[in-house]
């Protein structure tokens, strides 16, 4: 049982590190800020969460595991909201947004 828990923990941590590598490539490869933010946001949410779940398996079922689970839950709630708010700020303040993406405007009712 101990070896299965160790293999699962290391597997989650390695998967989280691979997500971080993809995030890093995405941040440097994409040209537009919103695309970069999407790559960074997904890496933060998925990469950190997978690494923390891996540490939960390595610690076993203790009080520390509960604390790490609460951190994972907080990250799953806070990180996407923060990324969304920052991207909304970029959309509302960028005057040259049409140069980077297609904008569909809603038709105004008369």
Give me the pLDDT at residue 107, please.
58
Q: Which two tokens stand for residue 18?
A: 């691979």
Let me know if residue 104 belongs to a domain.
Answer: no
CA-closest candidate to residue 76, choices 39, 50, 37:
50
Residue 61 DSSP label: S
Let me know if residue 110 belongs to a domain.
Answer: no
Let me know if residue 107 belongs to a domain.
Answer: no
Q: How many alpha carbons fall within 13 Å on the CB side of residue 109?
A: 0
Let me know if residue 101 belongs to a domain.
Answer: no
Let me know if residue 108 belongs to a domain.
Answer: no
Let me know if residue 14 belongs to a domain.
Answer: yes
Q: pLDDT digits over 22-36, tens only?
A: 999 988 888 877 788
Let me know if residue 109 belongs to a domain.
Answer: no
Q: pLDDT digits over 2-15, tens only?
A: 899 999 999 999 99
Say how many domains are in the chain: 1
Structural domain that includes position 47: 2-94
E strands within the chain?
A: none
Let me know if residue 24 belongs to a domain.
Answer: yes
Supply the pTM of this predicted model: 0.76
């Amino acid at each position: 049982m101990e070896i299965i828990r160790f293999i699962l923990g290391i597997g989650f941590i390695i998967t989280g590190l691979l997500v971080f590598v993809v995030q890093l490539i995405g941040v440097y490869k994409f040209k537009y800020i919103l695309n970069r933010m999407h790559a960074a946001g997904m890496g933060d949410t998925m990469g950190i969460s997978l690494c923390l779940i891996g540490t939960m398996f390595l610690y076993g079922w203790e009080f520390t595991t509960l604390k790490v689970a609460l951190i994972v839950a907080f990250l799953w709630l806070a990180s996407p909201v923060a990324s969304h708010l920052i991207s909304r700020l970029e959309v509302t303040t960028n005057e040259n947004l049409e140069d980077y993406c297609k904008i569909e405007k809603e038709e105004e009712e008369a």
